[in-house]
Amino acid sequence: MEGVMANMRGKTVLITGASRGIGASAARVFADAGANVALLARTEDAIADLTKEVGSQAMAIPCDVSRFWEVQKAVDACVATFGQIDVLINCAGLIEPIAHLSEADPEDWGHLIDVNVKGVFNAMRATLPVMIENDGGTILTIGSGAARTPYEGWSAYSASKAAALMLTRTVHNETSAQGIRAMSLAPGSVATDMQVIVKDSGINPASQRGWDEHVPPEWPAKALLWMCGSEADPWCGEEISLRDNEIRQKVGLV
């Protein structure tokens, strides 16, 4: 990890969903590694506070990732301030609606797809031209084991994570020759606000987990940093699982 941290000094990382959870933890981890961090989220106050905490290496950009024009404007602002984008981290995501397919609210279902799928596409689409022009970059997206498992009540979430994984694979196929490294991280069960929603739903075994069964958000944040190094290259175009003990050892997690 020391080599990865050394290589991040002066680099620029754009993080969606940076107001809390994994996104906020990633902002701190990458800033500690010497990177500039552009923090995107709809919650303006939260990213403003995090920017003050991080200091001059950070900038807050209010943004709804489901709207391409807002994402493009955020990317333009990031480049204008820091000169480039070396890493994109797609953390923005929703878990609701948690409901049986026959009862799910169509508007809520569609809104999740707008954020979890269109949001990932929008961020990739806006940053790729910048990265290609600069001869490369890394695109990391928060995935989930739900991309492969149809959990009860999670039709929207599972479908969105499967779609996001396919976007990662597509970016790899289309742009790896241009220096783009694209990977997904399935972090497992993480102690974030999302787990409170899952718990309150009472649907499927995931809602029965105790809080001590969730890993802290700093773990996936550190994994994302490790994924920026060459040791993670064998996983380009695929998904890394943080439930894998071998991966945890590589990242340096206990």
Out of 30, 82, 157, 226, pick the active-site residue: 157
Strands (E), 91-179: 137-142
User: Catalytic annotation on 151?
Assistant: no
Strands (E), 165-251: 180-186, 239-241
Positive or negative: CA dihedral 31, 33, 36, 42 = negative
Please compute, for residue 195, the number of CA atoms within 13 A of its CA located in the half-sphere on the CB side.
20
Containing 121, the helix (H) or strand (E) segment is: helix 119-133
Yes or no: say if 75 and 49 are a contact pair by the CB < 8 Å rule: no
Largest Cα–Cα distance in the chain? 51
∠ CA 174-37-18 to the nearest 5 degrees? 85
Q: Which residues form the catalytic set?
A: 157
